[in-house]
Structure 1
Amino acid sequence: MDVLTRIFRGLKQAPQFSFHPKCVQIELTHLFSCYSGLVPNPSKTNVYFAGVRSDVKALILRDIGYVEDHFPFKYLGVPLHSSRLTRDLLQPLLARIRAKMGHLESLHLTYAGKVTLLNSVIFGIEAFWCASLLLPKGIIKELEAQCRKFLWGTTGNRRFIFFSWEKVCRARKHGGLGIREVLSWNKALLLHMFWKLCHKPTSIWMQWSCHYIFKKSSCWDLNSEVCLSPIWTKILRNRDEFIQLMGSREAAKCCFQQWVTRPKFPVLEAYSVFRGEQLEPKWMRPILDSIVIPRHALTATLAAQNGLATVDKLCSSGMVLVNRCVLCCRAAEDAQHLFFACPFSQHLMQQILA
């Protein structure tokens, strides 16, 4: 970068000297290859300017032979912008997830199958974007709304839901369904960028950031209120939130020292920090056994937390007018009666345990 800056500064200060465009382009390509180990493709390489006079811009474009382009643009499918990302720039992510969910909804899957697909296919699409930028809260709410509709049913096939999304996003050992919460997962992946600075900044972007942004100061000392680019402001604010959750800067540094020694960033551990510690209910231990069928484990999880659509809840929602157990027709149906007090359920349990 210093060599390129000196070349462009010399062109600006002494325009009377004429350089052959082809020679300047070859020299710049050689310098770029020496610093990065990459070779630019002229047909796919564009130049972006900021704060440059039009005459200097024309001189640079004439000598390097590349085409000028403007923000925003896409890199590996992710939109890049010099300012805050707008909703319009993130529409491809929403459209891709809607298309994927529309295809999966026609498969008539069970709840357990939908949970598996949400954690593998859908969040695989989100993770690619979440690892590069912090999504706006409006986009995150819309993503969670799409996931809720896919899990519990669409508006055309409405189902009454008695299990909050906050409980759904808990880990299975904490009484949830194990679906990752988008905001905490996004923050954990964004913390990976900060981990790279503390680990070994091998990429060009990381080396440039250490030299021009952090300079000689530590990456823990730079104030997040300093006027930086939107992505760096979010990275530093994400670091400050991690410090607050850990209790102190020293505790955060100690945690990072353990993570830096690992070859890969522990995303799940960072995700658990942003989600917060939760109590592990004892009734989940038998449900988590490997011999339990996933569909049965999910039903048992909902039943233990009174999340099933029993007749008493359907009556309170106005869907059913008469509250009567469909098995014995003797008493009102709720979760306690359906699984433990109903004579038919008791007889069936005795036959299973016999």
Structure 2
Amino acid sequence: MPTHKRVSSFYHGQRNQCGSIYLQLYSFRRVTFPSGIGLPLLASRLSISNCQPLLLKIDSRIKGWDNIQLSFAGRLQLIKSVLMSLNVYWAMAFILPKGVIRAVEKRMRQFLWKGNSTVGYPKVAWSDVCRPMEEGGLGIRDILALNKALMSRHLWNVIQSNQSSIWVQWIAHTHLRHKSVWTVDAKGGSWGWRKLLRLRSALLPYIEFKIGNGELFSIWHDPWHSLGTLIRRFPSGPSRTNIPIAAKLSAVIVEGDWNWPPITDLECIEILYLLPTIHNGSDSILWRGVNSLRRWPMVFPNFGAYSRMVSPTFGPCKIPRFSFVLWLAILGKLSTMDKPWLSHLGGVCMLCGREVETHEHLFFGAATLGGVSAT
């Protein structure tokens, strides 16, 4: 018999009435899940309330910098090196709720543009700030793209059937059940599992199926062909080609060459075109994308077209404080006198005293540049 004083009970997916009955029968203590290595231990999907420790840590770090006079470049560096490290730690373990992502981005946005002040406004849209530096941004990682990228690494382990991972073995036993990860139905699975399966289409362009003896890949369920997953392209393909739906590629490979049975169906005959090359050895799955954690989020970019015009503003030989101001100037985001909310100041350039102060006039006006160089 267990010692009741030393036994605690956790309940998930049970009604309160059922939990109360168990507590009365066995006299166990009812407790909530504790936290491990700084992260909550949960039996359900992550909620915004579960992420309060993350938000409190970010608030604590920002408040600790209140007494330090930081430039834009200084705050940018702290966001990249300190605040983002907290996000990465959580994003590697959980699919973060969008409400949490918005709350984190709000804190970082306010810290970047306001610092410890209560006044100020975002000069550049946050989506543009999160672009890589070579694409015109400040290089802050987009948290949503980062979270998807880190979660896709777990999906990559499932695709590889990494048997050294206990979690992968549990996924194979609980969710796959001898099915292919590429065609398994997400319905009926947990919320996190459904989210992971949505990343399959984003990972596929970066995966190469290297065909060897054909014993690893399924003919109909794995996307080894340039047409994609054949069972989705040809739902009635197994009956039309007389190839069993569970057949492996080894069934159509003889002595290192393709040996398909005659296919007379006009629709399925497309399978015989653009067949990949067969290599010696066993089948393997190769990753053709980036391998570093720093570049992995580029698999899931949240931005479209970009311009490289501002890439020369940042670099190892440039002063970050001046580079940040130059970046704002190129984007036309400095608080010049031509802005509507500064019209009460007169709008006249303080350097020449004649023309309206604009970005073009300050940085490219001949009279202004001549006056500055003369002083």
TM-score by length of 2: 0.67
SS of corresponding position for 2:332: coil
Rounded Cα–Cα distance in structure 2 between residues aligned with 1:287 and 1:261 = 28
Give 5+ residue unaligned stretches, structure 2. 208-222, 230-275, 277-283
- Aligned-residue Cα RMSD (Å) equals 3.8
Which of 162, 167, 170 does residue 205 from structure 1 map onto? 167
Q: Are 1:344 and 2:305 matched, yes or no?
A: no
d(CA) in 1 for partners of 2:135, 2:349 = 30
Q: Matches of 1:86 and 1:282 in 2, distance apart?
A: 39
Cα distance, 1:50 vs. partner?
6.1
CA–CA distance in 2 between the matches of 1:108 and 1:93? 25
Mapping of residues 185-334 of structure 1, within 5 Å: 185-199=146-160, 200-224=162-186, 226-240=187-201, 242=203, 257-259=285-287, 266-275=292-301, 278-279=304-305, 281-313=307-339, 316-317=340-341, 320-334=344-358
The Cα of 1:147 is off from its aligned counterpart by: 0.5
Judged with a 3 Å threshold, the aligned counterparts in structure 2 of structure 1 residues 320 and 236 are, in CA distance, closer, same or farther, namely: farther
**Counterparts of residues 137-176 of structure 1 (less than 5 Å):** 137-153=98-114, 156-176=117-137
Residue of structure 2 in register with 1:40 after alignment? none
Equivalents in 2 of 1:157, 1:331: separation in Å? 32
Change (3 A) 1:311 1:258: farther
Question: 1:347 and 1:257, CA in 2 relative to 1: closer, same or farther beyond 3 A?
Answer: farther
Q: Write the deviation string for residues 289-312 of structure 1: whole angstroms up to 9, x where unpaired.
A: 432212222222211111212121
Distance 1:154 1:296 in 2: 18
* Worse-superposed segment, 337-346 or 285-294: 285-294
Summarize the Cα distance change of 1:70–1:229 in structure 2 as closer, same or farther, 3 Å threshold.
farther
Contact in 2 for aligned 1:71/1:82 (Cα 8 Å): no
Per-residue deviation, 1:155: 8.1
Contact 1:340–1:346 at 8 Å: present in 2 too? no
Output aligned runs, 1:117-128, within 5 Å.
Answer: 117-128=78-89
Instruction: Tell me, yes or no, if the aligned pair for 2:80 and 2:140 is still in contact at 8 Å.
Output: yes
For 1:220 and 1:266, locate their aligned partners in 2 and report how far apart those are by CA, in whole Å: 25
1:65-76 aligned at under 5 Å gives the runs: 71-76=32-37
Distance of 2:362 and 2:185 partners within structure 1? 58
Q: Runs of 5+ in structure 1 lacking a partner? A: 1-19, 23-42
Inter-CA distance 195–242: structure 2 relative to 1 (3 Å threshold) = closer
Structure 1's 329 and 235: CA in aligned 2 closer, same or farther, altered over 3 A? same
Kindly state the Cα deviation for residue 242 of structure 1 after the two structures are TM-superposed. Answer: 4.9
3-state SS, counterpart of residue 287 of structure 2: helix
TM-score, length of structure 1 as denominator length: 0.71
Q: CA deviation at 1:272?
A: 1.1
Please state whether the residue corresponding to 1:317 is helix, strand or coil. helix
Instruction: Check 1:201–1:104 CA distance in 2 against 1; reply closer, same or farther (3 A cut).
Output: farther
Q: What does the per-residue CA deviation read over 1:246-305, in whole Å, with 9 as the maximum and x for residues that have no partner?
A: 9xx668999x9443899xx54344311211575553433432443221222222221111
> Contact 1:173 / 1:280 at 8 angstroms: preserved in 2?
no
Answer whether contact 2:133 2:311 (CA < 8 A) is retained.
Answer: no
Cα drift, residue 162 of structure 1: 2.6
More helix by share: 1
CA distance in 2, matches of 1:319, 1:136: 42
What is the alpha-carbon distance in structure 2 between the residues aligned to residue 238 and residue 71 of structure 1?
32
Residue deviations 1:227-260 (CA, integer Å, cap 9, x gap): 22222222222334555999xx668999x94438
Q: Secondary structure at the match of 1:202?
A: coil
1:184 matched to 2:164? no
| Distance (whole Å) between structure 1 residues aligned to residue 195 and residue 31 of structure 2 | 23
Q: Is the 8 A contact 2:206 2:289 kept in 1?
A: no
Q: Percent identity?
A: 28
The secondary structure found in structure 1 opposite 2:35 is strand
- For 2:87 and 2:361, the matched residues in 1 are separated by 42
CA distance in 1, matches of 2:352, 2:285: 61
